[in-house]
Amino acid sequence: MPDRSGQKLTGVISASVLLRQTEAVCRRAPDVVLGLSGGVDSGVAAELLVRQGYSVCGALLRIPGADCPREDALAVAQAADIPLFELDVGEAFERIVLRNFAREYAGARTPNPCIVCNPGVKFAALCELADELGAPFVASGHYAGVRTAAGRAELLRHASGKDQSYMLYRLPQSQLGRLLLPLQQMGKASVRELAREWALPVAQKRDSQDICFVPQGDYAAVLERLGVPMAPGDFVDGEGRVLGRHEGIARYTVGQRKGLGVSADRRLFVTKIDALTGRVTLQGSEALLCSRLALSDVVWTSGEAPKQPVCATVKLRLGPREHAARVQPLGERGALVLFDRPVRRGAPGQSAVFYDGDMVLGGGVIDDAAL
């Protein structure tokens, strides 16, 4: 395997070799480049791929300011006897993820940075390294499935409650078509059991619950560092009457109930955030119900929008709950979701993902949460 230490690749990453493999295995190009995060899921995925006969190369993404557990990734690569590259994706992460994160919050929206990162940074970097090394496949430890039908890749939900297909819905055919998901048929308990059985060095490591660049979930600190204004403003009720003061619209999201600091005789939720006036509207939970949502930046897993409305179930957040609806494509990148019955709406900036049974049809970003 050639030494690409510090070499700049084609625009997304620069790569350096952290761990070389045995000379005998390095004589041929790897079959698959696997994203190694240093966690138990990617660790078991690496071992599964090796045991299935694949020649595997690991890749650890380095993001400035993020928790990138290099030592754990190195330990996993050593245990599986695979080479490990460290990929510096800092410039791409800043341009694609952080700027969008700051812009959306400043505009009174709540983005999901992991959904943006997956196609634009993570899998783009894995595919780029795979192309450089001559590997036909990339892989990750996500809990989802892929299959090929009629010459196209299909993204599938995972059978367990850990399903992460929602987070991968924006992957294009160019990435899905070469993606291996070794945990496709395994639940979290089985993954943990295998990690212990194989004595993997990360077998007892706890799952991370935070976004990688938001330690301890302190969004406000990150947003302030990114230059997002935190000007105080008014909390108001549905009639515009002032209920109190807030500490900046970027600290709140539609649907939020906790941490408002407003006394009332009933539970209040954030139902609207106005970026122009700085007002945050608080109302009862009934004001969060809606029958339809307008979406923008819609992608379809097949690569083509349907010509007619489609019946689907729709997820408005990561988790098992979904809602029956009809999805009507609008123009090139829009859609209107018409629910069979009123649902508690998602926040503008979050994603709505469409399913046909176990298959992901596509999804888009919520624009208007109260049409």
CA distance 234 to 138: 49
Q: Is the distance from CB of 42 to CB of 34 less than 8 angstroms?
A: yes
How distant, in Å, are the alpha carbons of 63, 100, 156, 265 from that of 114? 13, 11, 18, 37
How distant, in Å, are the alpha carbons of 140, 145, 183, 262 from that of 179? 8, 9, 12, 48
- Which amino acid, one-letter code, is at 205? K
173: left (phi over 0), alpha (psi -120 to 50) or beta: alpha
Q: Is the distance from CB of 156 to CB of 165 less than 8 angstroms?
A: yes
* Catalytic-role residue among 26, 68, 117, 311: 117
**Chain mean position to CA 99:** 16
State whether residue 329 is helix, strand or coil: strand
- Eight-class DSSP state of 160: S
CA distance 329 to 308: 7
CA distance 268 to 287: 10
Token pair in block for residue 99: 């700027």
- Which amino acid, one-letter code, is at 13? I
CA distance 148 to 326: 25
* Catalytic-role residue among 57, 127, 212, 290: 212
State whether residue 194 is helix, strand or coil: helix
Assess whether 117 carries a catalytic annotation. Answer: yes
Residues annotated as catalytic (active site), given as ranges = 117, 212
